[in-house]
Homo-oligomer: A and B are copies of this chain.
């Protein structure tokens, strides 16, 4: 089982992408993927303070929406952003969301 089901680029739906990113935990996961390239389920659970089954659930949601790609290597599964596919499907969308997700310098909290 080295390959998991991923939606084809042309089958990625906007509402599903937006829905996937509307959860704060998943948005944070995506932000970290953008910054660090790859993450495992365990890393996310550990760093974000959620149970590993919850992390798995979120990764599945992200995978199903077309946002992330899952690659298996040994016992680990590495998730990465499907940047090129998303850019092809919805130009500029991911970048503007990532930019919006970055903490603002203007201090407001």
CB-CB under 8 A from A14, the residues of chain B are 27, 97, 100-101
What is the interface of chain A mostly: helix, strand, loop, or mixed?
helix
Q: Report the count of interface residues on A (CB-CB < 8 A).
A: 23
CB-CB under 8 A from A24, the residues of chain B are 15
Q: Verify if A91 is at the interface (C-beta below 8 Å from B).
A: yes
New A-B contacts (20) at CB < 8 Å, excluding given A16-B22, A22-B22: A14-B97, A14-B100, A15-B21, A15-B22, A15-B23, A18-B18, A18-B19, A18-B21, A18-B22, A18-B97, A89-B100, A90-B100, A91-B96, A91-B99, A91-B100, A92-B92, A92-B99, A93-B96, A93-B100, A96-B97
